Structure 1
Amino acid sequence: MGFHHFGADSAPTLLLVHGADTTWERSFSRAIPLLSRHFHVVAYGMSGFDSTEDTTFRNARAEAERIIGFIDSELDGMLTCLYAHSLGCQTATYVAHHERVLTTILDGAVYANTGSFTPAMARLEEPLARFLASDTLRKIASFTGLPVLSGGVSDAIYLGASRQSYRNTAWSNLAWSADLHTLEPRPQARVHLWWGERERRAVRPTQRLMTRIFPSLQSKEFRGFSHGDLCARHPELLTQEITVVARSHTESGPQDQSAQVDHSPGR
């Protein structure tokens, strides 16, 4: 199935793209009821990570091609807003580069060029996912009280994907990191880069490279947040932030490029 619809068809369309080793339900189930008050929400299930399909995740480019095909065939070639988290930011980068989206929001686009370590990372991806979903991690989180481990990480992990799907996420990280150096600039693309304060160092390389590709890039840091906090723990704030950004660009029209880079912290 891949594309899961919520809210009124007549509302502006918002496409949600989840991150690695999880699903659209586990990522967006709390936010969708709120977002669907303002948007026709389409939650995209990555190939290999959607229980309604028998597919394999190959790479972010392949997922982008699938989304672009959906936009062209189902949305008359234009999407109001695309929000992507973590690994989903890779796919969203390619979609935004094709200029099929009025507004693109990349949340937690961590630069993950693992270079020569990629084969090892690929082999470890599935065991790591199983560890993150295990009772062992829950016990560690309970014992240590570490916020990164106790923030619902275990509940977000999906273990129904094939071994190849897990491994391919690591190779997709490498390919996307390399493409950030070579993609041609798209001055008219409206792209917002968001990150949590605690993941700043991991996202800053992405910001530098994204600014070359998307010269009108607007950035925002959410004070006190870690990777995935906005998406997983704060559905009300996520809804508010997406709505403000989407509406501002919808009202100003697709050709306006007056937005300035904003480095102010979030709430």
Structure 2
Amino acid sequence: MFMKGMMQMKYFEFGKENDITLLLLHGADTTWQLSFEKFIDIAKQRYHIIAVAEDGFNTDEPNTYAVSVIAEAEKITEYLVENFDGRVDIILGESLGGMIMTEILLDERIKVHTAIADGFTILEYPNFRHDLPKRIFAALLADVQLFAFRHMGLFNWILGEDIDSMIYKNTSKTTLFNLEYSMMPYRYKYEAFDLADSYIWHGEKEPGLRQVVKKLGGTDHRFSHKVFLNRGHGSLLKEPARLMREIDLAYRGYNGRIKTR
């Protein structure tokens, strides 16, 4: 059903001399370098950074493909257990990385102080009864993304932000198909946010923000939601100093469901 790469997921560490660990999980259609390189230059002065080169988005391994959110989370979880005894101070999950983060949090071997889901994606995927329409729909969604890579103006309009510099345009159709296929259906694990001091961030210009706020407000799970004015999906990645300040603030803790700045 799925094509898998043969190589092992890679991890890159910076600022190892620092005590506070910060795990970085990038989103779909990008890489750890495109998303976090400028931020790491600043953050490595304070944090022990662990940047994940997620399957399907590693320029060094073009023949390795993502399989599913759950499969990616399982690999990262095993790495954290083996190398850090399952303990991480902060996780920053961008977009799809936020979904991976929730799966990691739910593993009882993992202990996290602060969990941040930036641009947490909440999409309603259809639940097809039969496999063929599911495969057709996943292939269609993958083709739409590949089309968007060639027409970045449309992509930027949809996300409310110019993110051309962060897009890994060599993402394979296999990876995109696998991820879309695995999302039908997918249940968002809000209960994971109860297991850490948790934060969900969005940009004011992200598509469907009003619906997202409504959905988040209807849950009883423990997190703070912060909306950043005049910003789109993943905008803080383009402001590394601001992102650093926001992570510092979250690590120290702030209260309240909706926070706008």
User: Normalising TM by the smaller chain, what interval?
Assistant: 0.7 to 0.9
**Residue 83 in structure 1 maps to residue 92 in structure 2:** yes
Match runs of 1:13-92 below 5 Å: 13-53=21-61, 54-92=63-101
1:202 is displaced (CA, Å) by 5.2
Letter in 2 for 1:204: V
Residue in 2 that maps onto 1:102: 113
Tell me whether 1:216 sits opposite 2:222 in the alignment.
yes
Aligned-pair identity (%):
27
Unaligned regions of 5+ residues in structure 2, if any? 1-8
| 1:133-192, Cα deviation, whole Å (9 max, x unpaired) | 33x445x79xxx969577133x3222334322111222344443x244xx7577443211
Which runs of structure 1 show a deviation greater than 4 angstroms over 4 or more consecutive aligned residues?
116-121, 145-150, 183-186
CA offsets 1:16-45 (integer angstroms, 9 cap, x no match) = 111111111111122110111110111111
- Distance in 1 between the 2:10 and 2:104 partners? 16
1:193 aligns to 2:194 (yes or no): no
1:109 and 1:203 in contact (8 A); partners too: no
Q: 1:239 to 1:174 in 2, by over 3 A?
A: farther
- The two structures have a TM-score, normalised by structure 2, of 0.81
* 1:140-151 aligned within 5 A: 151=162
Supply the distance in 2 between the matched residues of 1:146 and 1:235 (Cα, whole angstroms).
22
Kindly indicate whether the alpha-carbon contact (under 8 Å) linking 1:64 and 1:92 is maintained by their aligned counterparts in 2: yes
C-alpha contact (below 8 Å) 1:89/1:107 kept by paired residues:
yes
Give the equivalent residue in structure 2 for 1:165: 175
Contact kept in structure 1, 2:143 and 2:173, CA below 8 Å: no
Question: Which structure shows the higher strand fraction?
Answer: 2
Counterpart for residue 127 of structure 1 = 143
* Cα 1:225/1:16, change in 2 over 3 Å: same
Q: Compared with structure 1, are the counterparts of its residues 206 and 50 closer, same or farther at alpha carbon in structure 2 (3 Å cutoff)?
A: farther
Please give the alpha-carbon distance, in whole angstroms, between the structure 2 residues aligned to 1:216 and 1:49: 31
TM-score, normalization: structure 1? 0.79
Q: Is the 8 A contact 1:3 1:45 kept in 2?
A: yes
RMSD across aligned positions (CA): 2.8
Structure 1 gap segments, 5+ residues each: 250-258
